[in-house]
Structure 1
Amino acid sequence: MPNTFQYTSVAPEKELSIFIESIGMFGNFSSSEKEVVVLPDGRIDLFFMFNAEGQFKVLLMGLETEPEKRIAPAGMSAYALSFTPLGMEYIMQTSIADILNSARELPDNFWGNRKEHFTDLETFKNFVMEKIGEHLPAKVDERKLKLFEMIYASNGELSVAELSGKTGWSSRQMNRYFNAKFGLSLKAYCDILRFRTSLAHIAVGKLFPELDFSDQSHFIKEIKKYSGVLPKDLSKNKDDRFVLLSLLKER
């Protein structure tokens, strides 16, 4: 087994992309712990985690609005199901407003998982796809569908006023919905998506704004806000600490 921190993922079927971003697994297959920095990316992760001793727990991670240093112990591994906000609302059927920048521990037997569901990524995918199928809603609010389609298509660049005008949903209503369900405002979520899109540019050495930042100073300020470092230092990604950036470089 390679002596590295590894992450691999697969995309869900296209028709499920409004609910699910990716299905993946990661682990620290080295003999020493590794420090990683988790960056805000607009996803909500459900982790099925094992430590080196085989102990197991299930964690639902809230949205992140700031970088967080975490330690991946030697020998740990995890399987991850990454939801969109709509997936959290309609598949998991829960609010995550109370776990912004934190996590909620779920029962070890969540969704009736068993040891054989974690043989490999394909086995895990089959397990979660079955569970997702059992929880698919008969109908999704059309305003919410349209709102998230525009947010993603614009990489978070549309203003709240523009989104309101295109959905017929008032800014106040949208913000009340976001704060109640996800723990942050619509603008804050859009800013995170813009940051996430900027990471792909930084990963290839583009250290100037490619998206709708007012100027270079604003770009630098926003990148530092969500990563903790300047764009040039983020691009260097010393020791591959920024896992999300490392994955973008590999692609």
Structure 2
Amino acid sequence: MIAGITYQAKKPDASLAHCIESFWLLANTTDEEKTVSIMPDGRIDLFFSKTATSPFHVVLLGLESGTSNAIIAPQTLTFAVSFKLLAAEYVLKHSVASLLDGGMRLPDDFWGMSVADLDDFEACCNRVSEKIKILLNKEPDPRKLALFNLIYNNNGDLLVHEMASKVHWTSRQINRYFNQWFGLSLKAYCNILRFRASFAQIKAGKFFPEQNFADQAHFIRTVKKYAGVAPKALNKNKNDRFIQFSTLPKK
């Protein structure tokens, strides 16, 4: 992990697992900026942050379609909620299509959170969980729930028409839904999940595809498309540049 950067994560309870992937806390405890690269990972992220020079602020980030650079300011403390896609419709209740490769500032009192809350990670997780449970005031469409279960359980490693057939929803309808709510097609989203699923094997030094890639050349092209570097360079992760790779749990 990057020197001076601390990280901890927690899974939600089972009742929220269909819309939340994880809660996490990231801190830069130094007086120096940390430059990092953020790879697409198929999540929508909600950040509650404070820094030495910036007041408490809340930011919602949409999906990423490629690697981008970011700076973690000195003395930064960020609590984040990483959402699965169903959360856009059933928790946030708003399309995030316009936030593809971008984000938006939310009101500083969003969900009643304040700067004081950031000092207790467990309390943050509990408070936000209770808020989300209130917002989840209707059951998800069974077709959508079935679709996302297929997507996540298989790390995107199914063909679109196969998933459409299983959930009794046409490919055209599914892609219309994805473009309207998330800003990209189902196939594009599945490609991102397959890329993300390769992180652990790359970190272990395995450079042959374990997901359903046509061959090693296809695997390398996919990693370079989303990470900007080949698998071997990602494995080295020079200077802990790739923040998600640095925070992968150790085996």
Structures share fold, TM-score greater than 0.5: yes
Query: What CA distance in whole angstroms lies between the structure 1 residues aligned with 2:34 and 2:250?
Result: 19
Q: 1:3 to 1:212 in 2, by over 3 A?
A: closer
Give the aligned partner of residue 50 of structure 2.
50
Measured after TM superposition, the shift of residue 120 of structure 1 is 1.6
Whether contact under 8 Å (2:56, 2:114) holds in the other structure is no
Give the aligned partner of residue 234 of structure 2.
234
Q: Identity rate of aligned residues, in percent?
A: 47
CA RMSD of aligned residues (A): 1.3
Query: What CA distance in whole angstroms lies between the structure 2 residues aligned with 1:36 and 1:240?
Result: 8
Q: 1:116 to 1:244 in 2, by over 3 A?
A: same
Give the aligned partner of residue 140 of structure 1.
140
Measured after TM superposition, the shift of residue 114 of structure 1 is 2.4
Spell out, residue by residue over 1:122-178, the C-alpha distance to the aligned partner (whole angstroms, 9 max, x if none): 111121012112111321100001100011111111011111111111110000000
Measured after TM superposition, the shift of residue 6 of structure 1 is 1.6
Give the aligned partner of residue 61 of structure 1.
61
Letter aligned with residue 197 of structure 2: T
Query: What CA distance in whole angstroms lies between the structure 2 residues aligned with 1:155 and 1:130?
Result: 28
Whether contact under 8 Å (1:147, 1:163) holds in the other structure is yes
Spell out, residue by residue over 1:41-76, the C-alpha distance to the aligned partner (whole angstroms, 9 max, x if none): 111000011111351211000000100011111111
Query: What CA distance in whole angstroms lies between the structure 1 residues aligned with 2:249 and 2:85?
Result: 26
Q: 1:111 to 1:42 in 2, by over 3 A?
A: same
Letter aligned with residue 100 of structure 2: L
Moved more, 61-70 or 24-33: 24-33
Measured after TM superposition, the shift of residue 3 of structure 1 is 5.4
Give the aligned partner of residue 195 of structure 1.
195
Letter aligned with residue 43 of structure 1: R
Which residues in structure 2 correspond to 1:8-87 (within 5 Å)? 8-87=8-87
Unaligned runs of 5+ in 2: none
Whether contact under 8 Å (2:202, 2:231) holds in the other structure is yes
Aligned residue pairs, count: 250
Whether contact under 8 Å (1:66, 1:225) holds in the other structure is yes
Letter aligned with residue 133 of structure 1: K
Measured after TM superposition, the shift of residue 241 of structure 1 is 1.1
SS at match of 1:250: coil
Unaligned runs of 5+ in 1: none
